[in-house]
Amino acid sequence: MSLSEKIRNGDSRSVAKLITMVENDFQSAQPFLKELHQYCGKAIVLGITGPPGSGKSTITDKLTKHLRKMNKKVGIIAIDPSSPFSGGAILGDRIRMQDLTTDKDVFIRSVGARGHLGGLSRSTQAVVKIMDAMGKDFIFIETVGVGQSEIDVIKVSDIVLLVVMPGMGDDIQVIKAGIMEIGDIFVVNKSDRDGSDKLIAEIEMMLHLNEQEEKWHPPILKTVGTENIGIDVLWKEVEKCTVYLKESGEMFLRRKNRTRKEIFDLFQESWREMFFQFISEERLEKEVERVLKQNDNPYNAVKKLSAIFKKNLFKEGE
Amino acid sequence: MKKSRIRVLVAKPGLDGHDRGAKVIARALRDAGMEVIYTGLRQTPEQIIEAAIQEDVNVIGLSILSGAHMYIFPKIIKMLEERKMTDILVIAGGIIPIEDITELKKMGIKEIFTPGTDTKKIVEFIKTNIAVA
């Protein structure tokens, strides 16, 4: 049986191996992704984002358990930051998902962001695809703990859940641009703490200001993840949102944008690879030195390197 | 472009609740550029194996202080053999008597680090004993 057949049969080892390949050596993984692509598109992709410590892993864990009661298959991509210095990472989201580990219909993969900004890793979209092809009904993408502008999750998810908690700052925080704008559903977690009603009022106010002719009004839900409080109500809202997105054509539009982004990203990546293939490290180093010593400027350097690039590209075409 | 990273599962099997040692190791491995999947306390052998599969790790690091190592470690090694996962490097740390160390190494635990081991030594050991493409 081929690797992609094994993946489609849900073999977790093959899935895990291909994810590693995607992360380490995308070129070699591409033929397999190509084969799998036609089996993708069935899973609903849920982005779970929010600040560090707001309870993203716990909410993911509890929603997954809820889905398992309905016999749905779940994939989880849990992203944590990588060190900008060593490149290493501590991936600790599994701590909150221990009981899910031995459930054969749940597949969890911890991923280091590996220098990618925006709350995801570069490989996230491909990992979604692999889990989709293995037959998962729902795929959670749990982002790194985000601040204000890490909004890449919106580009790979069908629905975004923004998990916040009381006590994060004054009311101006919620009307700032960025992260607060991307939630389809707001989850006020740790709502047993002081200030949760105030936070809800502030988010309501912000959403109210948003209202133009948007038909979906993001609901704001209270949860206490660790106690499993509010999870079933939250899931009902996710279902409602899914129906709305499908019927309004918004889901199609989001997926269309996602596909566009995927093509563009792949294109960019292949040019990047070509850059290093056509321009030697020494040649690049030479330009760096020149610019550094004020013998030249970076704009000229790019022009020169582009000339070499084009020449090599032309030669390749022959 | 190839960008491989060594992936290590740090797990604490058994019932003791002391994970300071495991956290120190996790941090040292992170600083050495490895991706450490930290799974938390009280892991069963089944959970450790399943997590190792899904995370596709190169190394499993077991930390134990409860004294149950002669019961739990062989179980883990046996399960790895059954699932044909012997390419994973298994190392351990914690309070483990010398006579048990010899025994455990015979079973297939590649190295056992007792309290006071320099973390650099552990990093070195991992780097020289696994082959990452």
For chain A, the residue count is 318
Helices (H) and strands (E) in chain B, counts: 5, 5
Q: Which residues of B touch A100 (CB under 8 A)?
A: none
Do A203 and A246 share a domain, yes or no? Answer: yes
| Reported confidence tier of residue B133, pLDDT bands at 50, 70, 90 | very low
Residue B56: left if φ>0, alpha if ψ -120 to 50, beta else—which one?
left
Do A147 and A233 share a domain, yes or no? Answer: yes
Residue A224 has pLDDT above 50, yes or no: yes
Q: Which residues of B touch A97 (CB under 8 A)?
A: none
CB A88 to CB B35 under 8 A? yes
Q: What is the DSSP letter of B13?
A: B
User: Is position A14 within any domain?
Assistant: no
Q: Is the dihedral of CA A138, A140, A141, A147 positive or negative?
A: positive
User: Is position A88 within any domain?
Assistant: yes
Per-residue confidence (pLDDT) for residue B38, from 0 to 100: 93
How many Å apart are CA B81 and CA B2, to the nearest integer? 30
Residue B131 has pLDDT above 70, yes or no: no
| Reported confidence tier of residue B120, pLDDT bands at 50, 70, 90 | very high
CB B55 to CB A107 under 8 A? no
Give the H or E element holding residue A71.
Answer: none
Percent of chain B with pLDDT over 70: 96
Q: Does A134 touch chain B (CB under 8 A)?
A: no
Do A172 and A215 share a domain, yes or no? Answer: yes
Per-residue confidence (pLDDT) for residue A175, from 0 to 100: 55
Q: Which residue has the higher pLDDT, A192 or A315?
A: A192
User: Is position A17 within any domain?
Assistant: no
Residue A171 has pLDDT above 60, yes or no: no
Q: Does A279 touch chain B (CB under 8 A)?
A: no
Do A115 and A208 share a domain, yes or no? Answer: yes
Do A249 and A293 share a domain, yes or no? Answer: no
| Reported confidence tier of residue A119, pLDDT bands at 50, 70, 90 | confident
Lowest mean pLDDT among A58-72, A175-189, A284-298: A175-189
| Reported confidence tier of residue A71, pLDDT bands at 50, 70, 90 | very high
| Boundaries of domain holding A301 | 279-317
Rg of chain A's alpha carbons, rounded to an integer? 22
User: Is position A8 within any domain?
Assistant: no
Looking at the complex, report in whole angstroms how far the Cα of residue B89 sits from the nearest Cα belonging to chain A: 16
Residue A211 has pLDDT above 70, yes or no: no
Q: Does A88 touch chain B (CB under 8 A)?
A: yes
Q: What is the mean pLDDT of residues A37-46?
A: 95
Do A293 and A172 share a domain, yes or no? Answer: no
Nearest CA to A121 among A81, A161, A178, A76? A81
| CB-side neighbour CA atoms (13 Å) of A4 | 14
Residue-wise pLDDT for B11-21, tens only, equals 988 777 778 88
- List of domains in chain B: 7-129 (3.40.50.280)
Give the one of A13, A86, A94 whose C-beta lies nearest to B53's C-beta: A13
Q: Which residue in B has a C-alpha nearest to residue A104's C-alpha?
A: B50
Query: In the β-sheet with B35-38, what is the strand arrangement from edge to edge?
Result: A89-91, B35-38, B7-11, B59-64, B89-94, B111-113
User: Is position A273 within any domain?
Assistant: no
Q: Which residues of A touch B29 (CB under 8 A)?
A: 88
Q: What is the mean pLDDT of residues A104-118?
A: 87
CB B30 to CB A25 under 8 A? no
Per-residue confidence (pLDDT) for residue A317, from 0 to 100: 66
Do A232 and A308 share a domain, yes or no? Answer: no
Nearest CA to B122 among B1, B55, B29, B23? B29
Looking at the complex, report in whole angstroms how far the Cα of residue B49 sits from the nearest Cα belonging to chain A: 9
Do A246 and A311 share a domain, yes or no? Answer: no
| CB-side neighbour CA atoms (13 Å) of B89 | 19
Do A90 and A190 share a domain, yes or no? Answer: yes
Q: What is the mean pLDDT of residues A195-209?
A: 85
Residue A81 has pLDDT above 50, yes or no: yes
Per-residue confidence (pLDDT) for residue B42, from 0 to 100: 86
User: Is position A228 within any domain?
Assistant: yes
Residue-wise pLDDT for B38-60, tens only, equals 988 888 999 999 999 999 999 99
Q: Which residues of A touch B46 (CB under 8 A)?
A: 101-102
Average pLDDT, chain B: 89
**Non-local CB neighbours of B68 within 8 Å, separated by 6+ positions:** B13, B14, B15
Residue A183 has pLDDT above 70, yes or no: yes
Per-residue confidence (pLDDT) for residue A162, from 0 to 100: 92
State the pTM of this model: 0.90
User: Is position A191 within any domain?
Assistant: yes
Do A250 and A293 share a domain, yes or no? Answer: no
Per-residue confidence (pLDDT) for residue A187, from 0 to 100: 94
**Non-local CB neighbours of B85 within 8 Å, separated by 6+ positions:** B49, B52, B53
CATH number at residue A107: 3.40.50.300
Residue-wise pLDDT for A141-167, tens only, equals 999 887 766 778 888 899 999 999 888
How many Å apart are CA A250 and CA A258, to the nearest integer? 12
How many Å apart are CA B92 and CA B62, to the nearest integer? 5
Per-residue confidence (pLDDT) for residue B1, from 0 to 100: 53
Query: In the β-sheet with A220-222, what is the strand arrangement from edge to edge?
Result: A106-112, A74-80, A138-142, A44-49, A159-164, A185-188, A220-222
User: Is position A131 within any domain?
Assistant: yes
Give me the residue label for tokens 């044909």: B84
Average pLDDT, chain A: 89
Give the H or E element holding residue A126.
Answer: helix A124-133
Do A170 and A212 share a domain, yes or no? Answer: yes
Do A208 and A100 share a domain, yes or no? Answer: yes
Q: Which residue has the higher pLDDT, A87 or A58?
A: A58
Tally of structural domains, chain A: 2
Structure tokens at B18: 């002391």
Structure tokens at A135: 């037959």
Most B CBs within 10 A among A80, A86, A91, hence the mutation to make, goes to: A91
ipTM of predicted complex: 0.90
Q: Which residues of B touch A12 (CB under 8 A)?
A: 50, 53-54
Q: Does B3 touch chain A (CB under 8 A)?
A: yes
Per-residue confidence (pLDDT) for residue A149, from 0 to 100: 64
